[in-house]
Structure 1
Amino acid sequence: MGEIWDVAVVGCGPVGLMTAVSLAMRGHRVVIVERQAAAYGLPRAVTFDDEVARLLAAAGLGDRLGDISEPADEYEWQNASGQVLLRFEWDTPGPSGWPRTSMFSQPALEALLAERARELDVTVRRGVRVTGVAQTPERATLTLDTGEAVHARYVAGCDGAGSTVRSFMDTAVTDLGFFYDWLVVDLVTERRWKPVNLQICDPARPTTVVSGGPGRRRFEFMCLPDERKEDLNRPEVAWALLAPFGLTPADAALERHAVYTFQAAWVDRWRDGRVLIAGDAAHRMPPFAGQGLCAGIRDAANLAWKLDLVINGHAGPALLDTYGAERGGHVRAVIETSIELGKIICVPDAAAAAVRDKELNADGGGMVITDLPGFPLASGLIRADGLGGRLCPQGRVAWNGRVGLFDEVVGTGRFAALAVDDPQAALKDDELAFCARLGVRAIRLDDTFDVDGTYRAFLAGAGCTAMVVRPDFQVFGAAGPGALGGLGGLVRDLRAALGGGGSPG
């Protein structure tokens, strides 16, 4: 039969690479199968938020992200007259300790992830196509167009919107019928822009003007109702649309132009036995909230630590069902928000735009937004106790003689039990033994450790004194003094929820 990999990942884009890297960091043998012979060298995604920056840093890219990205500390939405409708002010770090929004070029990020995969000895098979996916109770098998078979305990399909892996799963796609065609134009230019990111809500031509990462600029032009996208997707049309911004071939290089159809869709099932999907294979998201790639990276982070626990026998296979429950609910909430933002932007009618401008108080300077609402997990491996399902912030801590952000100083990839009182004294012997098996970090949140009071303030805001945080930085649950069994009750509930049978999955 040949070797059996722990996980076979189909697709070598950012989601596939992130999945592979996150698993390999935990000691698993991973192979990536990719139909393209070489990496795609043109831009696509251009933004990630502070939570995703934190996840990428946890994958080993923290000291390299600054080389390929630049913070976007301001984002204005203006009407046709240049009046501000919305202004996002993001000049302070987000809750995860990184810039709230960073702009980047996708090929640069993929190159970093590919380098990290090589460092971790991930095997990459390029130029081969998956033609079949089958499974037994013990393993999954990929059939390749070379006639070979790749066997693995699990398969992760990260192979894009036209996913081959998805076609072999028992799942359906829910499509909201939200379609808009936009011409996307990427330029290489050293010209500086202010604001860094701009949305022009002009009914004559809704237009997006944002950073594409250091030395790059992206323009997106909405295809109007009386236009054909085929006519829009030409270089001479791109330059004509760029001319009002003072851009010509003399001061910018046209790197790419393509018409994209923005969609809103998700799969009904993310898992079919030993086969799971992530990224665009599982959802399509309008770009108006800048969350397309972010959602895929969150998928990868969520899936990897759960596969790790199941493969190592620390959790039962049912844990993998929480992957789709958590990510599906989160993705739907983000897509719905993105659609609402799109409804503000995609208005080609002047009268309707005037009504919108009045509602957003354009005459009075528009709305100023300093933070975006979070999207807590509503179900899955969480405890419904107020903080369960929320993203845990990251603050500065002092640990073993070092002071810095928690992830850099304490580490990542494992559960953490954080308590105002000594967690060791709060746990019974069997609970401590469980924590030791799972590699849980148990830390007391005194003022020596919690330098800025970030964690104590987070707990106090919910009337809690202890919490258990998952490897993807989501809170499993929290408790106050004596509430629901305190920290010991949290640990017992986590042990029951994981349902580990003691044998590898």
Structure 2
Amino acid sequence: MPDERVKDTTPLTADVAVVGYGPVGRLLALLLGRSGRRVVVVERQPQAYPLPRAAHFDDEIGRILQSVGVSPDSIPDVVEAYDDLYEWRAADRQPLLRLDWRGLGPSGWHVSHFFHQPSLESILDAQVQALDSVEVLRGWTAVAHTDGPDAVSLELRSATDERRSVSARYVVGCDGANSVVRSWIGTEATDLGYFHDWLVIDLLMHGALKEPVFSPPAWQLCDPVRPTTLVPGGPGRRRFEFMRLPTETAEELNDEAVAWRLLEPWGIGPGQAKLERHAVYTFQARWCDTWRRGRLLLAGDSAHLMPPFAGQGMCSGMRDAVALAWRLDLILDGRVAADTVLDSYGPERAEHVRHFIAASMALGEVICLSDPVAAAERDRALQADLAAGAESPPRPLPRLGPGFHREDTGGGLLSIQAAVTNGRRTALFDDVVGPGGVLLMADPGLREWLRPEDTALLDDLGWQVVALAAEPTAGEVVDTTGAYAAWLAGLGAVAVLVRPDLYLYGAAADPADLTGLLDHLHAALGRPATADR
């Protein structure tokens, strides 16, 4: 049912208005709301969308979910960790390509998880609804905006033609591929001209199927007769995707009878599964050139689209939300950071997402061949590489684009998460120390190099100072696995400054460089440098 609160037509004021309430909008609203920011969410759908869309997230998103109290292992009925090869096979079922994305990733969670999106969204929604600082307006559409010197005024319209307004200091469009906020910004897009139609089918399984059908559980059938994707869709669910052939129309393919016919060779019929969804999607590859104009910003599918073959579409949007949330929180504080901190958001994220788009397209080039001659040439080349012992293509772990970090010292790289102990608890770093920004030092003695102005700055930011020690004491942790010592050594660093979005602001090569790193942070925030204070 629509939220009863929307019957009140009083103008609303907010720190941030979030347009769109998918996983990206929910995460952004949750992060800002927990920081005490007043958030109004505008969602045109009167009820939550009940069908799956995204089905995969990686270890970095697992860590982000951990930070809001929804760690992947806490919801086994929604999320299943994946620990097998991801294979690409020819029409005769012989392997062409093996992606070895097994085990734990650098963020401390499995590299791959499959999940049921409506269930995860419901969990995030419950956490948002528990916050007094966030109001979710369902059944309302943002139809116009007016830029002001200190705020943006949104005009909202309901399905019954009621009117309402929201005044917000910032507006973030998390409203998908047809984003109205993007149209207000007026940005051009870098479009790579990638267009493939696929029929996406989601199934709720009634019982176990024969193991050979799904061994490994996630794979791609690179058959030019019908390129096909087979992956889990979360616990008890399966997803199939069938590429539209040149001889078909999207309308012909998007038919329930066609869905069952395509599933029949896999031993699946109404007796084995419930058809939850069938829909034809056009896989695309593009990103916006401008992610911000004044007080208007973009995140998620409103800013970028990519093929699903690397499972990074929703992941990239959730990274956007985290990258934006901590910036907005600091700016809204009014004393910690200047508005210019938002200028780095788009360049950082656009460059980062470009790498995932490229990786997804490269994988798509393997499977999206309907010409048998071209497919035969592909098969010969890839199988020759496998026979020669070619390694699995690396999982993309790109660096952020130029922005709010010191690039010459590890800035823009993803930080790691491993187990530590503080003497009371042994667990993953964020569970012991807490989420958020942190200055991590290799030795407690480095604290002596922190000046009063450095400590004051980190306190203002809400970023912690944590040192690795041989024995746990106040403010220090023990590196129980040696992972942090190895990571710092690989960076050639005695300390690293980790932003709240898990990416490095920079690394210090020695104690003196720690001073330079913190001076760089002072300046980047729009605060006076040490020499000027």
Please, which moves more after superposition, 186-195 or 288-297? 186-195
Q: What code does the residue aligned with 2:499 have?
A: R
Q: What code does the residue aligned with 1:186 have?
A: D
**Shift of residue 368 of structure 1?**
5.2
Matched residue, 2:316:
295
Q: Is the 8 A contact 1:130 1:143 kept in 2?
A: yes
Q: What code does the residue aligned with 1:86 have?
A: L
Matched residue, 1:69:
79
Work out whether 1:162 is the aligned partner of 2:178. yes
Work out whether 1:13 is the aligned partner of 2:32. no
> Once the two structures are superposed, what CA deviation does each residue of 1:345-371 show, in whole Å capped at 9, x if it has no partner?
101122211221222226739755385
User: Which of 404, 411, 435 does residue 458 from structure 2 map onto?
Assistant: 435
Distance, in Å, in 2 between the alignment partners of 1:456 and 1:24 is 35
Matched residue, 1:123:
135
Q: Is the 8 A contact 2:12 2:165 kept in 1?
A: no
User: Which of 377, 383, 392 does residue 355 from structure 1 map onto?
Assistant: 377
Matched residue, 2:35:
26
> Once the two structures are superposed, what CA deviation does each residue of 1:406-444 show, in whole Å capped at 9, x if it has no partner?
011110023334333534212112212212222221111
Matched residue, 1:497:
524
**Shift of residue 120 of structure 1?**
2.1
Matched residue, 2:475:
none
Matched residue, 1:60:
69
**Shift of residue 386 of structure 1?**
4.1
User: Which of 400, 403, 411 does residue 434 from structure 2 map onto?
Assistant: 411
User: Which of 113, 116, 128 does residue 102 from structure 1 map onto?
Assistant: 113
> Once the two structures are superposed, what CA deviation does each residue of 1:122-144 show, in whole Å capped at 9, x if it has no partner?
21100111111222121111101
Q: Is the 8 A contact 2:28 2:325 kept in 1?
A: yes
Matched residue, 2:6:
none
Q: What code does the residue aligned with 2:80 have?
A: E
Structure 2 counterpart SS, 1:168: helix
Q: What code does the residue aligned with 1:243 have?
A: E
Structure 1 counterpart SS, 2:175: coil
Work out whether 1:80 is the aligned partner of 2:91. yes
Matched residue, 1:475:
504
Distance, in Å, in 2 between the alignment partners of 1:268 and 1:119 is 36
User: Which of 475, 492, 505 does residue 463 from structure 1 map onto?
Assistant: 492
Distance, in Å, in 1 between the alignment partners of 2:396 and 2:328 is 29
Distance, in Å, in 1 between the alignment partners of 2:522 and 2:167 is 31
Matched residue, 1:172:
188
Matched residue, 1:263:
284
Q: What code does the residue aligned with 2:479 have?
A: D
Distance, in Å, in 1 between the alignment partners of 2:443 and 2:514 is 10
Structure 2: 5+ residue stretches without partners: 1-9, 472-477, 529-533
Matched residue, 1:321:
343
Structure 1 counterpart SS, 2:226: coil
Q: What is the correspondence of 1:333-344 to structure 2 with a 5 Å cutoff? A: 333-344=355-366
TM-score scaled by length of structure 1: 0.95
Distance, in Å, in 1 between the alignment partners of 2:182 and 2:393 is 38
Q: What code does the residue aligned with 1:310 have?
A: I
- Name which structure has the greater RCO, CA cutoff 8 Å, separation 6+: 1
Work out whether 1:444 is the aligned partner of 2:467. yes
Work out whether 1:198 is the aligned partner of 2:228. no
Distance, in Å, in 1 between the alignment partners of 2:76 and 2:465 is 31
Q: What code does the residue aligned with 2:32 have?
A: L
Distance, in Å, in 2 between the alignment partners of 1:130 and 1:418 is 46
User: Which of 117, 122, 138 does residue 111 from structure 1 map onto?
Assistant: 122
Q: What code does the residue aligned with 1:170 have?
A: G
Structure 1: 5+ residue stretches without partners: none
**Shift of residue 301 of structure 1?**
0.6
Distance, in Å, in 1 between the alignment partners of 2:82 and 2:43 is 33
Distance, in Å, in 1 between the alignment partners of 2:500 and 2:413 is 13
Distance 1:3 1:131, change over 3 A: closer
Work out whether 1:40 is the aligned partner of 2:62. no
Percent of residue pairs bearing the same amino acid type: 49
Q: Is the 8 A contact 1:87 1:367 kept in 2?
A: no
Structure 2 counterpart SS, 1:148: strand
Distance, in Å, in 2 between the alignment partners of 1:30 and 1:422 is 42
**Shift of residue 400 of structure 1?**
5.0
TM-score scaled by length of structure 2: 0.90
Structure 2 counterpart SS, 1:255: strand
Q: What code does the residue aligned with 1:83 have?
A: Q
**Shift of residue 465 of structure 1?**
1.3
Distance 1:171 1:90, change over 3 A: closer
Distance, in Å, in 1 between the alignment partners of 2:514 and 2:442 is 8
Structure 1 counterpart SS, 2:154: strand
Q: What code does the residue aligned with 2:126 have?
A: E
Matched residue, 2:154:
142
Distance, in Å, in 1 between the alignment partners of 2:220 and 2:201 is 15
> Once the two structures are superposed, what CA deviation does each residue of 1:20-52 show, in whole Å capped at 9, x if it has no partner?
001111111111111110001011110000001
Aligned length: 499
Work out whether 1:379 is the aligned partner of 2:414. no
Q: Is the 8 A contact 1:396 1:451 kept in 2?
A: yes
**Shift of residue 147 of structure 1?**
2.2
